[in-house]
Structure 1
Amino acid sequence: MIKSIYPFFVLLILQLPVYAQLDNTPADQKIAALLAKQPAETTDALNEAMAQLERFSESDISALLRQLTPPGKGDNAGVEYAANSYSYHVLTAGKAAQRVTFIKGALAALNAITDNDNKGFVIQLLQNAGDDTAVEALKRYLNDDYLNEKAARALARIGTESAGAALVAALQDATDQSAVNIANALGFMAYKPAEQALLARLHTSDKSLRKAVLYALSRIGGPGTEPFLREAADEVDYVYDATDATAAYVNYAYRLAAIGETATAEKIAARLFRSTKQDYQVHTRIAALRLLTQIDGNKRVNTLVKGAKDDNSIYRNAALTLLVPHLDERTSRQLAKGMFKADESVQVAILRYFGDHRSTSVLPEVRRALDVGTPEVCATAVSTLQKLVGDEATGELIGMLRESDKETRAAIKDALLITENPELPALLTEALAGENDPELQVLLIELLAQKGVGSSVPVIFEIIQGNAPVQVKTAAYQALPQVVRPSDLPDLLDLLPAASSEYASQVQQAAVVSVNRSSNRADQVTAVIARCRKSDMTSRSLFFPVLSGIGGEEALALVAGYADHNDPGMRRAATSALAKWSGAEALPKLIELSRRKVMDSTQRDAVFKGLIRIVGLANIPIEQKVLHLRDLFDSAESVEQRRSVLAALEANKTYNALLFAGKFLDDEQLKATAANTVMNIALENKELYGPDVTRLLTKVMALLSGSESSYLREAIQKHIDELPRDGGYTSLFNGRDLTGWKGLVANPIERASMRPEALAAAQEKADEIMRQGWYVEDGVLHFNGKGDNVATVGQYANFELWVDWKLAKEGKEGDAGIYLRGTPQVQIWDTSRVDVGAQVGSGGLYNNERNPRDPLKVADNPLGEWNTFRIIMVDDRVTVYLNGELVTDNVVLENYWNRTLPIFPMEQIELQAHGTHVSYRDIHLRELP
């Protein structure tokens, strides 16, 4: 049953057109027409429904409401939505007549309906729209245990004299919860004539009723109530209890102030204030002080000032808050007077208050706090001084550092960090140059670093090259990356060979920052490379991390050359630098390193992690990233490495990535990571659907665990339910055997002319030949170079085809292809075969004569590595992506078998056999309209 209120309907319906009040259409037809479009889903639909209801008569309204069925026996949503909306609609301007009709209809329905829940709904409608005419009908339900609360609330909302009288009359004999509901309703109305009746019910052992009566009396604010409320609050010692007696007395005082009885309200508040001096009464004391301040704040300034120095922090903070509107120079001086005799927490609170409210008149007291205060007080005074004086405090604060304790120094540091004084860099640098205290030196260096003060570099270099204590020297080295300028690069390169191993990384980071901050970066890079080449072999490797950080092809070539050095130390240094390379240009070298067998586990792990990172940041198609990550997975040596690859695949939302991760949903060590990758790829791309996707997501739901598993299962199930039921991607190759594939028989034209028995015999022979040349191993379909094409059993018209392929490195004449609709072909080349024109790359329509045959670019991976085709064929036109690069763009595929004819409308797909070992995997197809 709808119980919420729709206040926004009032705004929506102000613009409704005026229709004739009634029409003669039978009630059942009008109701059917109305309910056919309920609940209304748009503003226009709501407007139309309200216009229809305006034409309802009293009997029509009654008939509509009588259609309500008991809970669980029907759907009341349409009736409830329409009636509830209309109960607000009739309250808008110009709808008085409609309101009268609605009330009469609702009252008629209330008499006719027998189910209590539906009666309650009609009473709620009268609560929304009712007037004095509904009182007689509603008051009958005040002695009904089930409907008493609804009836009482409805009468309270109507709020007329007769409604109040009805509630008072019912209160006399009401018991239990009914009496509570009536008392609350009278309180809501603030119905003055109810005062005596409520007082008569005050002395009860029922705490709920006593609470309701006290609340109602406080809302009414009658003159005869005060002694009783005071006695009730006094009985509980002015704290909050189950009857809320204290709250009622406080509320009574506020109510008197609101209705103009300020003298009595002030008297009560003063009594409360005097009677609540204990800490456990603090909340009542604060409420009393707030009312006293509300009535006459100027009169209470001294009380507030005194309260601001109270030991009770809750009361103190309340007093300070109430004092804000009255804060001036005089009040500030009052607060400051005697402040240092107060508890430390009081001093801190007042100093913080001065700062927050910019009380500059008390600056002498703030400075005195810096001299005589405890460490916590001094620290607060520093913050306050900064707020009051701003940048002008900079020199004063720096001058205080030497004589300050540790806590105050930390506060000064925080204050200096937020200042924007342009003189700060010079002041800090000057202070550091003349300082000998190690702790203070460290603090100043940290400040200079965090502010990025480049002019401090000479002083920091002096510290590094001098005999400073270890902690100071360490701070100086750590500051270098934050303060260096481009002009400091030569000094950094000089410093690097001399720096001890514990500080080398800071110098290297600083050199990278220096280069990257330069407006003439190319010259800076050249300088680093030259310096590296000039350095002796013992220090040369120290420059590798700098080159790694600045990146670039020239730097890469230099460092990569040492990855093959005969000195193990140089090899490790170069490998480590390459693994941390800042640019994607290191990708090929890292791939090469990842395939090396001779490398210790630490180096291999570094290369592995570096390769995952570089693949992620490289500006290459996601199809190529997936290929790299899959190759890396194959070279992984630990579970953690394999998990990291599966996690990295998640960023590459391709069908191949999803299916590859899905292979590991049954792996005990990898299934959690695989499930997360499958889920996130699938849920973010509704174009990925089909039986395999549904199967994998269903498996993921069973694997989910943890606090969010229920939510995630719902999200996955919702995703599955919203996916198209037909079509989607299907696997043409199951990864286990040659199911779905057959040997090649002739060409499409010849096959079409063959008798069925001849075709069957030829197919049997072709299948035998196929099995000699094609085989499945480790999920890959291989051709050994002997035999003929392999073809799909199914035939296809328009489609999107994904297939991974690889030409063997050892092949002498790398050549293969994919026939579309039985027709050659999307070409696969060994691009080194320039004698046959293979240098143009794979992915072209090789057998075209009139239309383009060569690809738009070379996008092949090196021989012996996997490639990915995405082939789209619609009508006679073909688009090919190779490793994510567009190589054939909507080109007509000619009919090779008869160039006078268009391409066949539907035919098989073939993988070409051409005397070269070729491998295929992940062959997926989606049929297109």
Structure 2
Amino acid sequence: MKKALVAVLVLAVSSGWLIAARQAPGPGRGEDLKPLVSSILERFPAETSSARDGLCAEILKLGPAAIREVCGRVLAPGAGDDSKVRFAVNGLAVYVMRPEVESERALFVRALLASLAGSRDKNVAAFFLSQVQVAGKKESIRPLAGYLIDETLAGPATAALRTIGGPEAARVLLKALDAASLTARSAIIKSLGELRSRKAVKKILRYTESAQDGLRRTALFALANIGDPAAGPVLSKSRVASSFRERSEAPSLYLLYGRRLAESGKTSEALDAARSVLDSYVRPEESHIAAEALALIVSVLGERALPDLLRAMDSPNHDYRGAALDAAPSIPGIGATARWVEKAAQCGPAVWAEITEMLGRRADPSALPFVRESLLSRDMPVRLAAIPAAARLGGEAVFPDLLRLVGPADEDEAAVLRTVLLGYRAGLVVPECVRILESTSLPGKTILIEVLGEKGARGEIDRVFVLAGDPEPALRAAALGALAKLAREKDLPRLVSMLETAIDGDDILRLQEAVASAVRRNPDSMKRADALLELLKNAPPARKIAILRVLPKVGGTRPLQAAVEEHGSADAQVQSVAVYALSQWPDFQAADELLRIVKTTRMKKHLLLAIEGYVRLVGRANMSNPKKIELFQGLLALPMDDIDRKAVLAGVAAVREPESLRLLSAYLDNSALRKTAAAGLLDLASEQAPHERWLSGHEATSVLRRIEASLADPAEKERADKVIFERLRQGGFVPLFDGRGLGGWKGLVADPPARARMTPAELAKAQAEADERMRAHWKVTDGVLVFDGKGESLCALGDYADFELVVDWKIEKGGDSGLYLRGSPQVQIWDAEANPAGSGGLYNNQKGRSQPLEKADHPVDEWNTFRIFMIGERVSVYLNDRLVVDNTVLENYWERDKPIYPSGQVELQAHGNPLYFRNIFIREIPRDTNVPGIAEDEKTEGFAPLFNGRDLEGWTGDTSGYAAEDGKIVIHPGRGSGNLYTVKEYADFVLRFEFKLTPAANNGLGIRAPLEGDAAYAGMELQILEDGSPVYWGLKPYQYHGSIYGVVPARRGALKPVGEWNTEEVTVRGRHVTVVVNGVTIVDADIDAAIAGGTVDGHDHPGLMRKSGHIGFLGHGSITEFRKIRVKEL
């Protein structure tokens, strides 16, 4: 017995377990460890890699039991949200791979392998295998071997072995090859190829004759990558019966084989492979293959490959020649350059030009005489290649040669010369350009003028002014462009005079730019526009018009004032141009004046200009999106025509904010503006950033569905459908029905208790029979799931616990159906004319409410939409965006003495009449996990718990309606809907908590509140509201979640979907309140500034003056949950 104990102790010490256990501070096992692990896990994912490493270090300090505890919390899909746990496991895998921490790595991998061995779910096992791939080494090879024959897990197991590598990993893979499934076999062969296992070649060769195309292609790739000569005969030919894809891959695989031969020293065989490919693939569309073969030849032969490269110039294929020229600089030396020059002289113009261009890149000066000679070639392609090559090789020495080409140059040559001349210094190029300017004809002359401008030849400006009046448009354009580079303030009179008389539209634009550039060159920003504004004073109308059109390009306060003054001009044309100038103003300074014009003008042209300008400035302004929407709302409230409103709606659509959605959707019922609003909404929703959760919410999808239903054009409908699908998908929904077939569905087998009593074999047999019956009566027609009225219910394949379900349905006259949730009836569907209560109720309830709250059905033969929430045992139902079931318990129809099953299937009920369903989507809602306590870093910051997780100690008020349950404070409206306050009062503080909303939930957070009176007025109430619910689509902005009720509106769109936990942080410091929800700041308000003009709701709020008070949750009749409530007093 003693010997055995000693052996165990020795083993423990040698493996590091005992050492780690001794190092673990504090509690290290059992229940004491769980809260510590929970506290660490709650901080995943970390914001930085260093923070992640710190969390991983904390886990490792707790010892092996902590690692096992973390791994043990990885859950199967649908069993809960384990994302934080998976982040932690992956973080540990990365962290233990630091240098010189082998004991930590071994400790972690042992725990990982143990968890892997104990995994009952293949998704969980696959995750552990992926982490072994990150951190595993030789110790993992044997444990991994057992997963190679599992069709599901062979892939990740093989990937792990491939990453570990080495002869032992290859030996394990090879041993498992023949016994593996088809899918696993392919993964094993791929890995053996990547490990370059020569011992595997003999076995892999057998699979090159496989009837399975994928397996055969994988075997060929593996053999090519191993590079064993035994595979040469197989790789050198393609089977006649092979697929097109396999045949197209053959040359690349053979060349890969050649590269591997070369790497192993078999250069002769490698060259044979490359040349055989080169000889066989000569068609233009095969140039990439030939280029790859040539690259292999160059890599093997080095400088001895020069003849091959030169020979490639004889090919008619441009791309192949290009590959050879790309490789040419890798063979340096004057001798090689001389061979290229010799080759170029033997070729036609196209190839000569290609070689010349390469010689420039090659940068060997010995090629310069040949390139200089090429400048005089009669062939344009040769000259175009020689110009930049000569400049690169000869520098200033060839400048005279280049200048001589300017005169006779055509447009293409002139453009190349311009680029090259601009590369020379101004002191050299400017005098020479001036010298030959007059004697040079077009288009060379325009190039010289452009060079003068670009080089800042201010001394030549008079010459350029003269040329700016030339009758030749191209010459005039070049000169005006140069003036924009050269002109200064003193040149403004001449420029304005030219602008005043200019007629050509292009000339006007260039002159405007020249005037603006001249103004901007004044270094004194305070006096920058003085000279131009002086010209504006007392100018005749034509000159004023010319100057006013330039002012937006200048910008600034004084030019703006001048434009405003000219709007009052007696001259109607000057007045119109002044409005135009204001509408084009570069910054928000002009917004107030444009708004004044909108409110006062009677001229339609001025009104539209002012509106368009105002919309543009608001859209570009450096202000918050809610402020932009507020300004647009104010603009839309003014009287204007539909064409003017379209301009405003286009501006609204560019503001990515929930209020844009609501504002635009209000115009979908306006026949004149419907198209504009719909187009704006589709553009708004066409993309979604991760923080824009509101685009996946109930309101957004409802609006998009309205748009889709109104569209007649099939292409537009298809686009709208795609947008809706993408937004739902990004919101966590997955389609239960793909619109094409019955995949994902099955026939109905009995009821849940009867199914539970069946053996697996009995259930499988019954399911096969039910599926056959299903296919006889359920069909897909034009994207609609159609039931012919003669069979049984249809069931989704999976089981679902908590979820949100969206489904469109339609019935015929007298129709009757329903949706079973977790396998139990039912959300009712029927002909509402025959059944006046309407659809949506929980028809089979006996104790709780069974009737809908209101009738919301569309007429028979029209589509209806359900949005159903099943959370815990409660159900909420929206029918056509109206709440018809509000958080009602769904009773268990099959076993009345039991609560509804924790999970089950979704069923479309058959009731003997035709039914139609489409657009069926489901979002699974994660179940709650353990609630950790306050994190250590928060304790260090000074946070203390407000709620102990067990009872309501420290709280007062409605302790009947509120209860402590499973580490949460939960309000039960049936027991009371009052307010729950802290016993203690707080003045300045930071409050952090998490909350979970039910559909249409309404609560509030009271701060600095007294125990008596309405906290919204006697103190302050921060709204807690599921403001995405249709119930609240008509709210004022100061009623949204997070708003200081009636005082400060909150930014919308930060809430997570219903049923998920949200985080909130409220900071109250003096007269300042900040609210952050899920990392998004939705309120940042100074109370005094907010009420300076009165409160937005028009009511008195005396509580705003309070300096301290209670913190409380303010009930409004809805189930709401709170947890992790902690506070730091400031």
The two structures have a TM-score, normalised by structure 2, of 0.50
Structure 2 residue aligned with 1:428, among 419, 426, 433? 433
Query: Which deviates more, 39-48 or 115-124?
Result: 115-124
Structure 1 residue aligned with 2:193, among 187, 193, 198? 187
Which residue identity does 1:318 align to in structure 2? A
Residue 337 of structure 1 corresponds to: 342
Give secondary structure in 1 for the equivalent of 2:261.
helix
Mapped partners of 1:74, 1:614: distance in 2: 48
Query: Which deviates more, 125-134 or 304-313?
Result: 125-134
Give secondary structure in 2 for the equivalent of 1:382.
helix
Which residue identity does 1:19 align to in structure 2? A
Q: 1:216 to 1:588 in 2, by over 3 A?
A: closer
- Find out whether 1:250 has 2:255 as its counterpart: yes
Residue 6 of structure 1 corresponds to: none
Structure 2 residue aligned with 1:796, among 1017, 1024, 1035? 1017
Mapped partners of 2:107, 2:164: distance in 1: 14
Mapped partners of 1:74, 1:314: distance in 2: 56
Residue 409 of structure 2 corresponds to: 404
- Find out whether 1:310 has 2:310 as its counterpart: no
Structure 1 residue aligned with 2:467, among 463, 466, 478? 463
Mapped partners of 1:213, 1:206: distance in 2: 11
- Find out whether 1:605 has 2:608 as its counterpart: yes
8 A contact 1:647–1:677 mirrored in 2: no
Structure 2 residue aligned with 1:241, among 233, 240, 246? 246
Query: 1:518 Cα shift?
Result: 3.2
8 A contact 1:551–1:581 mirrored in 2: yes
8 A contact 1:664–1:674 mirrored in 2: no
Mapped partners of 2:1084, 2:140: distance in 1: 77
Structure with greater Cα Rg:
1
Over residues 809-839 of structure 1, what are the superposed CA-to-partner deviations in whole Å (9 max), with x where a residue is unaligned? xxxxxxxxxxxxxxxxxxxxxxxxxxxxxxx
8 A contact 1:132–1:160 mirrored in 2: no
Residue 363 of structure 2 corresponds to: 358
Query: 1:258 Cα shift?
Result: 2.6
Query: 1:438 Cα shift?
Result: 4.7
- Find out whether 1:368 has 2:391 as its counterpart: no
Residue 808 of structure 1 corresponds to: none
Mapped partners of 1:642, 1:79: distance in 2: 52
For residues 119-518 of structure 1, what are the structure 2 equivalents within 5 Å?
129=136, 131=138, 135=142, 180-199=186-205, 205-222=211-228, 225=230, 228-229=233-234, 232=237, 241=246, 246-262=251-267, 264-266=269-271, 268-269=273-274, 282-308=287-313, 310-372=315-377, 374-390=379-395, 394-435=399-440, 437-449=441-453, 453-464=457-468, 468-469=471-472, 471-473=474-476, 475-477=478-480, 479-495=482-498, 499=502, 507=511, 510-518=514-522
Mapped partners of 1:271, 1:469: distance in 2: 60
8 A contact 1:661–1:678 mirrored in 2: no
Which residue identity does 1:370 align to in structure 2? L
Residue 929 of structure 2 corresponds to: none
Query: 1:400 Cα shift?
Result: 0.9
Which residue identity does 1:463 align to in structure 2? L
8 A contact 1:269–1:289 mirrored in 2: yes
8 A contact 2:484–2:517 mirrored in 1: yes
Over residues 4-46 of structure 1, what are the superposed CA-to-partner deviations in whole Å (9 max), with x where a residue is unaligned? xxxxxxxxxxx999514899x9997699689756696543443
8 A contact 1:186–1:216 mirrored in 2: yes
Query: 1:362 Cα shift?
Result: 1.4
Q: 1:537 to 1:352 in 2, by over 3 A?
A: closer
Mapped partners of 2:293, 2:560: distance in 1: 76
Residue 642 of structure 2 corresponds to: 639
Query: 1:49 Cα shift?
Result: 3.8
Mapped partners of 1:587, 1:159: distance in 2: 67
Which residue identity does 1:330 align to in structure 2? G
Mapped partners of 1:496, 1:559: distance in 2: 18
Any gaps of 5 or more consecutive residues in structure 2? 1-15, 46-51, 708-718, 734-803, 805-1013, 1023-1082, 1096-1101, 1110-1129
Q: 1:604 to 1:64 in 2, by over 3 A?
A: closer
8 A contact 1:207–1:242 mirrored in 2: no
8 A contact 2:653–2:680 mirrored in 1: no
Query: 1:289 Cα shift?
Result: 3.5
Over residues 62-88 of structure 1, what are the superposed CA-to-partner deviations in whole Å (9 max), with x where a residue is unaligned? x99999987767888899888888788
Give secondary structure in 1 for the equivalent of 2:326.
helix
Query: 1:459 Cα shift?
Result: 1.6
8 A contact 2:500–2:543 mirrored in 1: yes
Residue 20 of structure 2 corresponds to: 19
Q: 1:151 to 1:497 in 2, by over 3 A?
A: closer
More helix by share: 1
Query: 1:371 Cα shift?
Result: 1.9
Mapped partners of 1:618, 1:252: distance in 2: 60
Over residues 291-319 of structure 1, what are the superposed CA-to-partner deviations in whole Å (9 max), with x where a residue is unaligned? 34333312222222333553323332332
Residue 856 of structure 1 corresponds to: none
Query: 1:47 Cα shift?
Result: 3.2
The two structures have a TM-score, normalised by structure 1, of 0.60
- Find out whether 1:46 has 2:52 as its counterpart: no
Q: 1:30 to 1:353 in 2, by over 3 A?
A: farther
Q: 1:794 to 1:262 in 2, by over 3 A?
A: closer
Over residues 850-881 of structure 1, what are the superposed CA-to-partner deviations in whole Å (9 max), with x where a residue is unaligned? xxxxxxxxxxxxxxxxxxxx99997xx88764
Give secondary structure in 1 for the equivalent of 2:609.
helix
Query: 1:658 Cα shift?
Result: 10
Q: 1:119 to 1:590 in 2, by over 3 A?
A: closer
Query: Which protein, 1 or 2, shows the higher relative CO under an 8 Å CA cutoff with sep ≥ 6?
Result: 2
Q: 1:636 to 1:451 in 2, by over 3 A?
A: farther
Residue 1059 of structure 2 corresponds to: none
Give secondary structure in 2 for the equivalent of 1:402.
coil
Q: 1:431 to 1:263 in 2, by over 3 A?
A: same
For residues 363-762 of structure 1, what are the structure 2 equivalents within 5 Å?
363-372=368-377, 374-390=379-395, 394-435=399-440, 437-449=441-453, 453-464=457-468, 468-469=471-472, 471-473=474-476, 475-477=478-480, 479-495=482-498, 499=502, 507=511, 510-519=514-523, 542=546, 544-545=548-549, 568-569=572-573, 571-572=575-576, 593-595=597-599, 599=603, 601-610=604-613, 633=636, 637-645=640-648, 667=670, 669=673, 671-672=677-678, 706=720
Mapped partners of 2:156, 2:592: distance in 1: 77
Over residues 765-819 of structure 1, what are the superposed CA-to-partner deviations in whole Å (9 max), with x where a residue is unaligned? xxxxxxxxxxxxxxxxxxxxxxxxxxxx998345699xxxxxxxxxxxxxxxxxx
Which residue identity does 2:462 align to in structure 1? P
Over residues 442-482 of structure 1, what are the superposed CA-to-partner deviations in whole Å (9 max), with x where a residue is unaligned? 444445455554434312332355x6445544554565444
Give identity over the alignment, percent.
20
Q: 1:454 to 1:196 in 2, by over 3 A?
A: same
More strand by share: 2
Query: 1:409 Cα shift?
Result: 1.6
Give secondary structure in 2 for the equivalent of 1:311.
coil
RMSD over equivalenced CA pairs, Å: 6.4
Mapped partners of 1:538, 1:18: distance in 2: 92
